C-alpha cells in the first residue's frame, strides 16, 4: 500500500480560492479523516487528489509517484485511486453487478471477481438489481465494492455515510471500517461529523478556510486542540482563565497540571478542560471547589450538568457524568478536575 | 484582498491559454467545429452572393418602395400574430392547468395537436373551403390559429410546475385573485411566454407556403418569388440579408426582455400541488371558448382534409407516387435527424463539460438557425454548391444537410436538456474506475442521454418531414416528397389530389408530437378542489 502526500495545495474556482496551501499526509494503509464544516473545501481536496480537477499550485503524490505538480498531470483513470462519492452515485443505467464490474476487463468480470466483491460487502443476492431498487445503505455498499474492484492504491470516501439514517449509519460505518482495515487500503474519509472522524480514523486532519489547521491522532486533537475554535468544534469544552507558574496553571478550580507539549512561560491565558474531566460529587461526599447544579440534561447513558462553582459570582462549568451520577437541579456539590488542562492560543 | 492569482488566469495572461486545462477531447472539438461550420456556411454564401452582384445593385433593390411595403406587411403581421398567440396561449394554458374547467385532459391533448399540422396545410384547409380568404386579416387569423401552441405548450408546462405556495402567500398578503395571477403566476411563467412568442415571430418571418396560399406578400414570399420565378439570385440574397437582420433583432429583443432568465424556487421545502381556481358561472363560457379554439385550430384544417380526401376525386390517384413521396420524405427526414443529432452531441458535450469561450461560441452558433429562415439556408447552400461543389447541387445530400442545419437548434435543445440531467459526476467516476474519456462517453454518457437523443431525433424528423420552402428549392431533380407533391397539386387548385399528401404528412408528424406533449407532462394531474 502507498502513502498519499499532499503538499502546499492551492485550488480555487474563478477568483475565489478554496484551498490555500493544504498539507496532508496519509500514511500507507491508514485511514485518515479530513474533518471540516460544509464549504471548507473538503470535496475540492478530494477532487484534486482523484484528478477530476487540476491543482493550481502544490503537489499530489501517491507511493512516491507524482500525480500532479503543475508540470506532470496523471489522468484520473491512471491514478489507481478509488472514489466513493456522496450518495454513492451508482450508474443508473447499469445493474449492481455491472456497476461493480465497470472498471474491470471482460476476462476479470467473468472470473467471478464481481460475485466475490458483492459477497464481501454483504449483498451477494442483489447483483441483478438496478440502483433505484436498492436502499441507501445497499447503494453505499455497491459504491464501495465498485471502487475496490480495481484494487486501488488509495481510496477516497466523500461523506459516504451522511445520507444514511442514524441507526444504519453506525452499522454501515462499522462494516466499512472493518473491511478497509482487513484490506489495509490507504483511505481518506471526508466528513463533517466529528464523532465519525474521531471514532473511525487513525489520524484526523481538520480543514478550515482552505488550510489544514491540525492533523494528529483523534486523542491528540480532542485533548490538545491548537485553538479554542477547534476545541469547540470537536466537542463541548470549559474555557477557564489561568495564570501559569512553571508546569502548573492556577485556575478557579485550583492549581492543575498543564498538558505536555506546549512550552510555557510565566503569565496568564486561557486553558481548556473537557466536561468529562470534571468530577462532581454531592457536597460532603467529595473534595474540590464548592458549587451548585444549575441545570441537568439527562441523556440516559450520560448526563450533562451545568454547575456554578467557586467564589462569587462563580464560574459556569459543564460536566459530563454517567447517567447514574446525574444530580437534580439545585444540589450543592463539590467539583474537582482530573488530568491536565490544555492551554489555548 | 489577498495577492492570490489563480494559476488558470496567470497562464492565460502569459499566453498559454490552455496549458492548465484538461486535455482537449479532439473528436468532440472536431464535431463541434463541423456543426458550427455547417451553420455558418449558408449565411456566409448569402453574403458572398449579394456582394458579387455589387452593393450598388443591392442598395437600389433595398431602397425600392416595394421593400418598404414588404417590411410593413411583415412587421404588422408579426406583431399582431405574436400578441394574439400570447393571449390565446396563456389564457388556454391557464384554463387547462389552473382551473376546474371540464374535460381538461381532452383539451390538454387537442390544444397541442395543431403543432403537428404544417402552417401551409392549415392555410390550405381554410382556403380550399373558403376561397375568399385572402390578405392581412385572413393571414393574421390563420397564422394565429396555427402557431398559438408554440406559446401554449411551454406556458402550460411552466404552469404545471408552478409552486402553489407562492400564489397562496400572495393571497394571504392581501392580493385579489386577479392581482395574484398578474403579479405572481404571470411573472413566474414570463420566460415561457417570451420564449413561445419568440418562436411564433421567427416562424412567421420564415413562413412561405401559407402566405403564398393566402396571397399575402411578406419578405420571405418576395425572396422566393425573386429566386424561383425571377431567377435573380443576387436580389434574393440581398433581401435575405434584411430578413436575417430582422430575425436576429427579434432574438436579441427576446434576450433583452429577459426571456432566458430562469425562475428559481427559493428555499427548500416540498413543492405543493396547487389547488385549482373554481370558475363558477364562468365554467360554461370557458368550456365554450376552448371548444371554439380547438374547432377552429384543429377541426377546420382536419375536417377540410378529410372532406377533400373523401370527396375530392383522389381515387384517381396512382398509389405508387404517394408511396414514393412518402419514402423520400421518410428517408430524407430520418437521415437529417440522424445527422442533426450527431452534430448536437459534440456541441452540447463541449459547452457543458469543457466550458470556455470557444465552446460557448460554438453553442451560440448552433442556435443561430433559429433566426435563419429555411429559404435563407437553402439560398446559401445553392450559392455554395453552384460555385464549389456543383455535383452536390440539388442532390439528396444537399437537402439532408439543409434540414440538419435548419433544425440543429431543436436537436441541441433535446440533447442539452438530457446532458444537463446526466451529472458529470458519473463521468468522473467512470474515469476513476480506469476508463479513458472516450470509453466513459460511450459507456456512461451515451446511455444516460439516450432519451434526449430520441427526443432530438423525433423533433428534427417531424420538422424535416413537414418542411416546404427549402425542399422546393433543393430537392433532387425529378424527386418528389410529400410536401412538394402537395404543393404542386395545391398551386394547381387540385385540392382533392393534394389532400392525401397533407393527410400523410400530418399523420407522420402528429404521432411524435403527441408523444412529446406527453413527455413534457402538460397533461394535467391532480384533483380539483371541488
* pLDDT attached to residue B299: 93
Lowest mean pLDDT among A204-218, A252-266, B451-465: A252-266
Cβ contact B445:B349 at 8 Å: yes
Cβ contact (<8 Å) for B428 and A52? Answer: yes
Q: Where are the strands (E) in chain A, listed by range?
A: 4-13, 16-26, 31-35, 57-62, 65-68, 81-84, 154-158, 186-191, 203-208, 211-216, 238-245, 248-251, 254-257, 267-273, 278-282, 289-298, 302-309, 315-322, 332-337, 342-344
pLDDT-derived band at A269, boundaries 50, 70, 90: confident
Distance from the B436 Cα atom to the nearest Cα atom in chain A, whole angstroms: 6
* pLDDT attached to residue A286: 79
- Whether A70 and chain B come into contact, CB under 8 Å, resolves to yes
**Domain interval for residue B91:** 34-263+279-519
Cβ contact (<8 Å) for A102 and B433? Answer: yes
* Chain A residues with CB-CB distance to B441 below 8 A: none
Please give the average per-residue pLDDT across B42-54, as a whole number: 87
Cβ contact (<8 Å) for A17 and B2? Answer: yes
Q: Which chain B residue shows the shortest CA-CA distance from A152?
A: B433
Q: Which of A13, A43, A91, A142 to mutate to test the interface with B (most CBs of B within 10 A)?
A: A91
pLDDT at B405 over 90: yes
Please give the average per-residue pLDDT across A7-11, as a whole number: 93
* pLDDT attached to residue B8: 43
pLDDT at A270 over 80: yes
* pLDDT attached to residue B529: 33
Q: Across the interface, which of B423, B434, B448 has its CB nearest the CB of A103?
A: B434
* pLDDT attached to residue A31: 94
Distance from the A76 Cα atom to the nearest Cα atom in chain B, whole angstroms: 5
Asked, for residue B270, whether it belongs to a domain, the answer is no
Lowest mean pLDDT among A282-286, A336-340, B525-529: B525-529
Question: What rounded mean pLDDT belongs to chain A?
Answer: 89
Could you give the CA distance from residue B439 to residue B435 in angstroms, rounded to a whole number? 6
DSSP lists the bridge partners of residue B369 as none
Which of residues A269 and A47 earns the better pLDDT score? A47
The owner of cell 503538499 is: A7
Cβ contact (<8 Å) for B428 and A82? Answer: no
DSSP lists the bridge partners of residue A333 as A282, A291
Q: Which of residues 140-199 of A touch B (CB under 8 A)?
A: 146-147, 149-150
Please give the average per-residue pLDDT across A159-179, as a whole number: 84
| pLDDT > 90 in chain B, percent | 40
Please give the average per-residue pLDDT across B68-85, as a whole number: 95
pLDDT-derived band at A129, boundaries 50, 70, 90: very high
Asked, for residue B362, whether it belongs to a domain, the answer is yes
- Whether A52 and chain B come into contact, CB under 8 Å, resolves to yes
* pLDDT attached to residue A264: 62
Q: Which of B181, B187, B169 is nearest to B277 (CA)?
A: B181
Q: Which chain B residue shows the shortest CA-CA distance from A84?
A: B429
* pLDDT attached to residue B318: 63
Second-level CATH architecture of A236-344: Beta Barrel (2.40)
Count contacts between A and B (CB, < 8 Å).
74
Which of residues B163 and B495 earns the better pLDDT score? B495
pLDDT-derived band at B173, boundaries 50, 70, 90: confident
Q: Which chain B residue shows the shortest CA-CA distance from A18?
A: B6
Backbone angles phi, psi at A27, to 5 degrees: -60, 150
pLDDT at A41 over 80: yes
* pLDDT attached to residue A263: 58
Q: Which of A138, A157, A52 is nearest to A95 (CA)?
A: A138
* pLDDT attached to residue B32: 94
- Which residues are within 8 A (CB) of A212 and not within 5 positions of it... i.e. 6 or more apart? A22, A23, A24, A205, A206
Cβ contact (<8 Å) for B428 and A57? Answer: no
Pairing label, strands A186-191, A31-35: parallel
Distance from the B402 Cα atom to the nearest Cα atom in chain A, whole angstroms: 35
Could you give the CA distance from residue B458 to residue B347 in angstroms, rounded to a whole number? 18
pLDDT at B406 over 60: yes
Distance from the B24 Cα atom to the nearest Cα atom in chain A, whole angstroms: 12
Please give the average per-residue pLDDT across A253-268, as a whole number: 75
pLDDT-derived band at B53, boundaries 50, 70, 90: confident
Hey, what's the cell of A339?
A: 488530568
Cβ contact B249:B509 at 8 Å: no
Could you give the CA distance from residue B64 to residue B73 in angstroms, rounded to a whole number? 15
Residues of B with a Cβ under 8 Å from any A Cβ are 2, 4, 6-9, 20-23, 423, 425-426, 428-436, 443-444, 447-448
Distance from the A139 Cα atom to the nearest Cα atom in chain B, whole angstroms: 14
Torsion angle in degrees (nearest 10) through CA of B370, B371, B375, B379: -110
Q: Across the interface, which of A54, A57, A76 has its CB nearest the CB of B432?
A: A76
Could you read off the pLDDT of B110-129 as tens digits, one per residue?
A: 998 888 889 999 999 999 88
Q: Which of B334, B330, B319 is nearest to B483 (CA)?
A: B330
DSSP A194-255: HHHHHHH-SEEEEEETTEEEEEE-HHHHHHS-SSHHHHHHHS--EEEEEEEETTEEEETTEE
Cβ contact (<8 Å) for B433 and A149? Answer: yes
Could you read off the pLDDT of B409-438 as tens digits, one per residue?
A: 999 988 988 888 788 889 899 999 999 888
Q: Across the interface, which of B4, B426, B435 has its CB nearest the CB of A89?
A: B426
Question: What rounded mean pLDDT belongs to chain B?
Answer: 83
Cβ contact A131:A139 at 8 Å: yes
pLDDT at B467 over 80: yes
The CATH code of the domain that includes B68 is 1.10.3720.10
Could you read off the pLDDT of B496-526 as tens digits, one per residue?
A: 889 999 999 888 876 666 666 555 444 444 3
Q: Across the interface, which of B6, B7, B425 has its CB nearest the CB of A85?
A: B425
Asked, for residue B96, whether it belongs to a domain, the answer is yes
Cβ contact B131:B309 at 8 Å: no
Distance from the B361 Cα atom to the nearest Cα atom in chain A, whole angstroms: 20
pLDDT-derived band at B13, boundaries 50, 70, 90: very low
* Chain A residues with CB-CB distance to B436 below 8 A: 75, 77
Q: Across the interface, which of B20, B432, B447 has its CB nearest the CB of A93?
A: B447
Query: From residue A10, how far is each of A55, A81, B386, B512 by CA, in Å?
Result: 6, 20, 57, 51
- Whether A102 and chain B come into contact, CB under 8 Å, resolves to yes
pLDDT at A166 over 70: yes
3-class SS of residue A333? strand
Which of residues A71 and B401 earns the better pLDDT score? B401
* Chain B residues with CB-CB distance to A56 below 8 A: 6-8, 20
Could you give the CA distance from residue B47 to residue B60 in angstroms, rounded to a whole number? 16
- Which residues are within 8 A (CB) of B196 and not within 5 positions of it... i.e. 6 or more apart? B85, B86, B89, B150, B151, B152, B153, B154, B155
Cβ contact (<8 Å) for B432 and A82? Answer: yes
Q: Which of B321, B336, B331 is nearest to B501 (CA)?
A: B321
| pLDDT > 90 in chain A, percent | 48
Helical spans, DSSP H, in B264-373: 283-294, 300-311, 319-353, 357-367
pLDDT at B264 over 60: no
Asked, for residue B492, whether it belongs to a domain, the answer is yes
* Chain A residues with CB-CB distance to B6 below 8 A: 12, 14-15, 17, 56
Cβ contact (<8 Å) for A20 and B7? Answer: no
pLDDT-derived band at B184, boundaries 50, 70, 90: confident
Which stretch, A100-114, B72-86, B451-465, has highest mean pLDDT?
B72-86
Cβ contact (<8 Å) for A102 and B430? Answer: yes
Asked, for residue B269, whether it belongs to a domain, the answer is no
* Chain B residues with CB-CB distance to A149 below 8 A: 433
Q: Across the interface, which of B22, B429, B430 has its CB nearest the CB of A85?
A: B429
Count the alpha carbons within 13 Å of A283 in the hemisphere toward its beta carbon.
12
* CB neighbour class for B324 (10 Å; exposed up to 12, middle 13-18, buried from 19): middle
Could you read off the pLDDT of B306-358 as tens digits, one per residue?
A: 999 888 765 555 677 888 999 999 999 999 999 999 999 999 988 888 888 88
pLDDT-derived band at B268, boundaries 50, 70, 90: very low
Question: Domains of chain A: which residue ranges?
Answer: 4-228, 236-344
pLDDT at B2 over 70: no
Hey, what's the cell of B387?
A: 460555385
* Chain A residues with CB-CB distance to B423 below 8 A: 89
Asked, for residue B268, whether it belongs to a domain, the answer is no
Pairing label, strands A315-322, A267-273: unpaired
- Whether A50 and chain B come into contact, CB under 8 Å, resolves to yes
- Whether A81 and chain B come into contact, CB under 8 Å, resolves to yes
Could you read off the pLDDT of A198-257 as tens digits, one per residue?
A: 988 999 999 998 999 999 999 999 988 988 899 999 989 999 888 888 778 888 888 888
Torsion angle in degrees (nearest 10) through CA of B495, B499, B502, B507: 160
* Chain A residues with CB-CB distance to B23 below 8 A: 75
Hey, what's the cell of B519?
A: 413527455
- Whether A20 and chain B come into contact, CB under 8 Å, resolves to yes
Q: Please count the structural domains in chain B.
A: 1
* pLDDT attached to residue A18: 92
* pLDDT attached to residue B517: 58
pLDDT-derived band at B24, boundaries 50, 70, 90: low
pLDDT at A110 over 60: yes
pLDDT-derived band at A61, boundaries 50, 70, 90: very high
Cβ contact (<8 Å) for B6 and A12? Answer: yes
Could you give the CA distance from residue B471 to residue B467 in angstroms, rounded to a whole number? 7
Q: What is the ipTM of this complex?
A: 0.80
* pLDDT attached to residue B258: 66
* CATH number of this structure's domain A4-228: 3.40.50.300
* Chain A residues with CB-CB distance to B7 below 8 A: 10, 56-57, 70
Q: Which of residues 232-271 of A touch B (CB under 8 A)?
A: none
Which of residues A311 and A104 earns the better pLDDT score? A104
Amino acid at each position: 500500500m502507498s502513502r498519499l502526500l499532499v503538499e502546499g495545495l492551492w485550488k480555487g474556482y474563478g477568483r475565489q480560492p478554496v484551498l490555500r496551501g493544504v498539507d496532508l499526509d496519509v500514511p500507507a494503509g491508514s485511514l485518515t479523516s479530513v474533518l471540516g464544516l460544509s464549504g471548507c473545501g473538503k470535496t475540492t481536496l478530494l477532487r484534486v487528489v482523484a484528478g477530476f480537477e487540476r491543482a493550481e499550485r502544490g503537489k499530489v503524490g501517491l507511493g512516491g509517484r507524482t500525480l500532479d505538480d503543475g508540470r506532470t498531470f496523471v489522468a484520473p483513470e491512471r491514478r489507481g485511486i478509488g472514489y466513493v462519492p456522496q450518495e454513492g452515485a451508482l450508474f443508473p443505467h447499469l445493474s449492481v453487478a455491472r456497476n461493480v464490474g465497470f472498471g474491470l476487463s471482460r476476462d476479470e468480470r467473468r472470473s467471478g471477481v464481481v460475485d466475490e466483491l458483492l459477497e464481501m460487502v454483504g449483498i451477494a443476492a442483489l447483483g441483478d438489481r438496478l440502483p433505484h431498487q436498492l436502499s441507501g445503505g445497499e447503494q453505499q455498499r455497491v459504491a464501495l465494492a465498485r471502487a475496490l474492484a480495481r484494487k486501488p492504491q488509495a481510496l477516497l470516501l466523500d461523506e459516504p455515510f451522511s445520507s444514511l439514517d442514524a441507526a444504519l449509519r453506525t452499522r454501515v460505518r462499522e462494516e466499512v471500517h472493518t473491511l478497509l482495515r482487513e484490506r489495509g487500503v490507504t483511505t481518506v474519509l471526508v466528513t463533517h461529523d466529528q464523532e465519525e472522524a474521531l471514532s473511525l480514523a487513525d489520524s484526523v486532519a481538520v480543514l478550515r478556510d482552505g488550510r489544514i489547521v491540525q492533523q494528529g491522532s483523534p486523542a491528540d486533537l480532542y485533548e490538545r486542540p491548537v485553538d479554542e475554535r477547534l476545541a469547540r468544534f470537536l466537542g463541548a469544552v470549559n474555557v477557564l482563565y489561568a495564570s501559569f507558574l512553571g508546569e502548573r496553571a492556577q485556575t478557579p478550580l485550583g492549581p492543575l497540571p498543564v498538558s505536555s507539549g506546549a512550552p510555557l512561560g510565566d503569565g496568564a491565558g486561557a486553558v481548556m478542560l473537557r466536561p468529562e474531566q470534571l468530577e462532581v460529587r454531592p457536597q460532603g461526599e467529595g473534595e474540590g471547589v464548592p458549587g451548585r447544579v444549575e441545570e441537568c440534561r439527562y441523556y440516559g447513558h450520560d448526563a450533562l450538568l451545568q454547575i456554578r462553582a467557586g467564589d462569587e459570582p462563580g464560574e459556569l462549568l459543564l460536566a459530563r457524568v454517567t447517567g447514574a451520577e446525574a444530580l437534580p437541579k439545585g444540589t450543592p456539590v463539590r467539583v474537582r478536575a482530573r488530568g491536565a488542562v490544555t492551554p489555548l492560543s | 484582498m489577498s495577492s492570490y492569482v489563480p494559476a488558470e488566469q496567470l497562464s492565460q495572461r502569459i499566453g498559454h491559454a490552455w496549458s492548465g486545462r484538461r486535455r482537449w477531447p479532439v473528436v468532440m472539438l472536431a464535431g463541434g467545429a463541423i456543426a458550427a461550420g455547417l451553420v455558418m456556411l449558408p449565411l456566409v454564401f448569402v453574403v458572398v452572393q449579394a456582394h458579387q452582384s455589387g452593393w450598388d445593385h443591392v442598395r437600389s433593390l433595398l431602397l425600392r418602395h416595394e421593400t418598404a411595403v414588404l417590411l410593413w406587411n411583415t412587421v404588422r403581421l408579426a406583431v399582431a400574430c405574436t400578441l394574439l398567440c400570447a393571449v390565446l396561449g396563456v389564457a388556454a394554458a391557464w384554463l387547462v392547468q389552473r382551473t376546474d374547467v371540464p374535460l381538461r385532459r381532452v383539451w390538454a391533448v387537442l390544444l397541442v395537436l395543431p403543432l403537428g399540422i404544417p402552417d401551409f396545410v392549415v392555410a390550405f384547409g381554410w382556403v380550399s373551403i373558403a376561397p375568399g380568404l385572402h390578405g392581412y386579416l385572413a393571414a393574421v387569423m390563420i397564422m394565429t390559429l396555427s402557431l398559438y401552441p408554440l406559446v401554449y405548450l411551454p406556458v402550460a408546462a411552466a404552469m404545471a410546475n408552478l409552486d402553489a405556495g407562492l400564489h397562496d402567500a400572495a393571497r394571504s398578503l392581501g392580493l385579489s385573485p386577479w392581482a395574484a395571477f398578474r403579479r405572481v403566476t404571470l411573472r413566474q411563467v414570463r420566460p415561457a411566454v417570451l420564449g413561445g412568442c419568440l418562436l411564433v415571430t421567427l416562424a412567421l418571418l420564415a413562413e412561405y407556403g401559407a402566405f403564398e396560399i393566402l396571397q399575402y406578400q411578406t419578405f420571405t414570399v418576395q425572396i422566393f418569388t425573386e429566386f424561383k420565378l425571377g431567377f435573380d439570385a443576387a436580389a434574393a440574397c440581398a433581401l435575405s440579408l434584411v430578413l436575417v437582420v430582422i430575425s436576429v433583432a427579434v432574438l436579441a429583443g427576446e434576450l433583452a426582455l429577459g426571456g432566458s432568465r430562469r425562475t428559481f424556487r427559493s428555499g427548500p421545502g416540498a413543492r405543493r400541488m396547487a389547488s385549482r381556481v373554481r370558475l363558477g358561472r364562468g365554467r360554461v363560457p370557458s368550456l365554450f371558448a376552448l371548444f371554439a379554439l380547438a374547432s377552429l385550430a384543429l377541426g377546420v384544417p382536419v375536417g377540410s382534409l378529410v372532406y377533400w380526401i373523401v370527396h375530392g376525386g383522389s381515387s384517381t390517384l396512382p398509389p405508387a407516387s404517394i408511396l414514393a413521396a412518402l419514402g423520400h420524405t421518410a428517408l430524407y427526414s430520418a437521415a437529417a435527424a440522424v445527422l442533426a443529432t450527431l452534430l448536437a452531441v459534440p456541441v452540447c458535450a463541449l459547452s457543458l463539460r469543457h466550458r470556455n469561450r470557444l465552446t460557448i461560441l460554438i453553442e451560440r452558433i448552433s442556435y443561430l438557425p433559429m433566426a435563419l429562415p429555411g429559404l435563407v439556408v437553402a439560398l446559401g447552400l445553392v450559392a455554395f454548391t453552384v460555385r464549389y461543389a456543383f455535383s452536390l447541387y440539388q442532390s439528396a445530400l444537399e437537402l439532408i444537410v439543409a434540414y440538419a442545419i435548419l433544425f440543429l437548434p431543436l436537436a441541441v435543445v433535446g440533447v442539452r436538456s438530457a446532458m444537463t440531467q446526466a451529472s458529470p459526476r458519473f463521468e468522473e467516476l467512470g474515469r476513476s474506475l480506469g476508463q479513458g474519456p472516450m470509453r466513459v462517453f460511450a459507456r456512461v454518457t451515451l446511455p444516460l442521454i439516450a432519451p434526449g437523443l430520441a427526443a432530438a431525433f423525433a423533433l428534427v424528423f417531424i420538422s424535416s418531414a413537414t418542411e416546404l420552402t427549402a425542399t422546393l428549392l433543393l430537392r433532387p431533380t425529378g424527386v418528389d416528397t410529400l410536401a412538394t407533391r402537395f404543393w404542386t397539386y395545391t398551386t394547381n387548385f387540385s385540392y382533392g389530389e393534394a389532400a392525401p399528401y397533407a393527410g400523410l404528412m400530418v399523420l407522420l408528424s402528429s404521432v411524435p408530437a403527441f408523444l412529446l406533449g406527453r413527455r413534457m407532462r402538460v397533461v394535467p394531474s391532480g384533483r380539483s378542489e371541488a
